Amino acid sequence: MPHKITLTGSATGPLREYDRYVAFDMREKGSPAAPKGLKKSTFISYTVFVAKKAFNKTGLTKKSIMHEKILIQGEPTLDIPIDECPGEVGVICFQITVLPNKNDKEKNESNTKKEPTQEASAPSQAQKNTEPTKQAEEQAPVSQPVAKEEKTEAKKTPVQEKKAEPKPKTLPNQPKGTQDLLSFDDIIVPEAFLNTRPNPEKTQKVIAFVKRTGRLDEPLTIEKGSNVLKDGYRRYVVAKTVKMDKVPVVYEYQK
């Protein structure tokens, strides 16, 4: 089987352009605790080679690649000339993904905290509007019991309708079948998914759909309780690319 390698971080050197690909350097440190009796691993420098077509799809530039956190999935190579590969290990990139920025996450979290507050204030205003109606009914003469019963029945109906519509408020503009909105960082991706490469053309279509509609086309399938991704890795990668803070999910229960 071919060797697989995954890198995360930012470029440590400037972007270098060639005929059909670009290259940049990255650094990764090893595990903080080596097995007993062995020396701790040190930093390893890598030179990553990405096809220009794949790099342009990410929206990265010569300046932004030094500041954005990216995920690289590919294979190590020893066939690159030394003058093009200053790093200790060369990496042929099969997939490059821009990871969400911490500042963007904090803004999205602050916005989601404000929304429930606004929704909670709406029922209190509706209750205030119903108070004059209640006072008028209490002052009505007792000689009209039938009319009073009709009013109370008509009054109960809208209250029941309001209680039956909680989902549109909590899950607005989400794909059909969505059961919950889960924080992106809470999802656990199995190694089997990380070792695969979604079709770039199909992935780009999903990205275009999200940019056009503001949502994913289908929810991700998550195992209930463990939050392990069971299906929808392509949509997971798209959510990373467009920097989604929360994603729509449907739960699969353990057997």
Q: Going from the N-terminus, what domains does the chain have, and what CATH number goes with each?
A: 5-30+41-99 (2.40.50.1040), 180-252 (3.90.1530.10)
Is pLDDT at 166 greater than 50 in this prediction?
A: no
CB 99 within 8 A of CB 240: yes
Predicted local confidence at residue 167, as pLDDT: 46
Predicted local confidence at residue 163, as pLDDT: 52
Sheet holding 220-223, edge to edge: 180-183, 246-252, 220-223, 229-231
Predicted local confidence at residue 114, as pLDDT: 62
What DSSP string runs through 1-24?
----EEEEE--SS--EE-SSEEEE
Q: How many CB atoms lie within 10 A of CB 85?
A: 20
CB 178 within 8 A of CB 168: no
Phi, psi at 33, each rounded to 5°: -130, 105
Q: How confident is the model at residue 165 (pLDDT cuts 50, 70, 90)?
A: very low
Q: Give pLDDT tens digits for 109-123.
A: 666 666 555 544 555
Nearest to 92 by CA among 4, 192, 200: 4
Q: Give pLDDT tens digits for 31-50.
A: 667 777 787 778 888 999 99
